[in-house]
Structure 1
Amino acid sequence: MWKEEDDKLKRTFVFKDFKSAFAFMTKVAAVADEMDHHPWWSNAYNKVNIELSTHDAGDKVTEKDKILANRIDMILAS
């Protein structure tokens, strides 16, 4: 689940392997680019850490972050 902390929405995703994690990141990248709203993220082997905040709003959580988080959840569920 997403948690709001330090003016960011944060979540860690764990996959079976690196290839699965990277495939997820590729799908998220397409959605983020479509929205013109790019996350801070990191990947190590099977883990992907994502943080969302809106730079134009002073690096605070906005509705745009919540929409992207929801879309990321939909990618995970598919």
Structure 2
Amino acid sequence: MIRTLRSISKQEKEKFRIPRSVQQTIPIDTIWKDGIFKVGKNKYSKTFQFTDINYATASKEDKKALFLEYSDLL
């Protein structure tokens, strides 16, 4: 039993490499269209996208609509 646990823990470990660039610090291997990232041998991550709302340049009606939507959320 202990031997199998040791062998499993050895298999899950990945070799650490010192990153030489910014791209190498982000451990992403594959990206799919549905927002799932493969970040290791058997490790996956889900991402979400948020849009930026520029409140300063919005019109008065847009500001009012944004405020009402935000107040409904709270």
TM range (shorter): under 0.3
Q: TM-score, normalised by structure 2?
A: 0.26
Q: Which has the higher contact order (CA 8 A, sep 6+)?
A: 1
Q: TM-score, normalised by structure 1?
A: 0.25
Higher helix share: 1
Higher strand share: 1
For the pair shown, the structure with the greater C-alpha radius of gyration is: 2
